Amino acid sequence: MRDIPAKRIAIVGPGALGCLLATALSRINGEIWVLDHDSQRAGLLQHSGLTLDSAGHCEHFPIQATADASRIGPVDLVLLCVKSTALGRTLPFLLPLLTENTLLLAWQNGIGHLPLLLGAELPCPLALAVTSLGAHLLGVGRVRFGGAGATSLGFLREASREARLGLEEVAARFRLAGLEARVEDDILPQVWNKLLVNVGINALTAIHDCENGVLLGNGEALGMMRAAVLEAASVARAKGIGVDPDPVARTIAVCRTTAANISSMLQDVRQNRQTEIEAINGGVLEEARRLGIPAPVNAALFAAVKGLEKSYLPG
């Protein structure tokens, strides 16, 4: 592929999104690595590569994968695709990938993890990616494309000119790979707009053990959705973040377009994994508490999902 320089890129976390991005970027000039904390799975990925299932058409991509970041060494770009719950243990693990010339791009849902990201001692610039790309993991290294969606990229802090140019180049690379991507001057409204949707859908689907679309036919759940989203939107506005003027309509629209989806939180609960409730409704609660804004519905959703986790997580 011409027009774009070859880069060394590491994708950390071979979940649905990590695998999808790895397949997309494999089409473009560059050296792609997948870093996984699980050495057995990394071995499988190295051996079998990635498979992308797009509308029933399967494509295979050989990939380099390892559980040892020092085997990869410094790279130009890191796509940090682990869940917010794994960030604490992942940041030290990926340090061998980073130099001052690396760009670290974080793809987590929610906001509760942002203090951890911002407080991390990193040698390189850090940017956030907010995406509505759909992806579903079918098995190790096997991902189903779940629908096109825009990706916004942006820095949370003042960034150097080089870093901003680097991020523009990342957006161009994604576009060349067929993904819709753009750089935002202010990424926070995008982070919060996505958060508001997750606040309204994820916990409720976990509590009711249902697909996203089922919420639309449940009057009680719809009332909770509306109230939770409005509480979170008041918090955003109190922080001066310009979120969507009608976040409830947006959440309902997403519920409709993703009606058959099992939300990421329900998938976590069904597989007895820790959910992202701390980063999503928990993140809103933390900000609400700081600002003295009541958020009883988010508190109830938070407590209910914590109760579910307690039934299967040790400790």
Binding site for ligand KPL (CB under 6 A): 109, 197-198, 201-202, 212, 254, 258, 261, 263-264
| Pairing assessment for the beta strands 134-139 and 142-147 based on DSSP bridges | antiparallel
In whole angstroms, give the CA distance from residue 228 to residue 232. 6
In whole angstroms, give the CA distance from residue 58 to residue 184. 33
Task: Give the CB-side neighbour count of residue 112, counting CA atoms within 13 A.
Answer: 24
Nearest approach, Cβ of residue 62 and ligand KPL (Å) = 29
Cβ closest to ligand KPL, residue 122 vs residue 210: 210
In whole angstroms, give the CA distance from residue 309 to residue 315. 10
Nearest approach, Cβ of residue 309 and ligand KPL (Å) = 16
- Helix (H) or strand (E) holding 198, with range, is helix 188-208
Q: What is the DSSP string of 68-117?
A: -HHHH---SEEEE-S-GGGHHHHHHHTGGG--TT-EEEE--SSSTTHHHH
Cα angle, residue 287 at apex, residues 285 and 293 outer, rounded to 5°: 75
Number of CB atoms found within 10 A of residue 118's CB? 11
Cβ closest to ligand KPL, residue 19 vs residue 163: 19
H-type helices in 239-295, by residue range? 247-257, 264-270, 281-291
Cβ closest to ligand KPL, residue 167 vs residue 196: 196
Nearest approach, Cβ of residue 304 and ligand KPL (Å) = 17
In whole angstroms, give the CA distance from residue 2 to residue 192. 36
In whole angstroms, give the CA distance from residue 283 to residue 288. 9
Cβ closest to ligand KPL, residue 123 vs residue 147: 147
Cβ closest to ligand KPL, residue 114 vs residue 265: 265
Nearest approach, Cβ of residue 184 and ligand KPL (Å) = 19
Cβ closest to ligand KPL, residue 107 vs residue 174: 107
In whole angstroms, give the CA distance from residue 114 to residue 174. 24
Cβ closest to ligand KPL, residue 28 vs residue 82: 82
Nearest approach, Cβ of residue 1 and ligand KPL (Å) = 30
Nearest approach, Cβ of residue 42 and ligand KPL (Å) = 25
DSSP letter, residue 279 = T
- Helix (H) or strand (E) holding 40, with range, is helix 39-48
Nearest approach, Cβ of residue 47 and ligand KPL (Å) = 30
Cβ closest to ligand KPL, residue 52 vs residue 199: 199
Nearest approach, Cβ of residue 225 and ligand KPL (Å) = 11
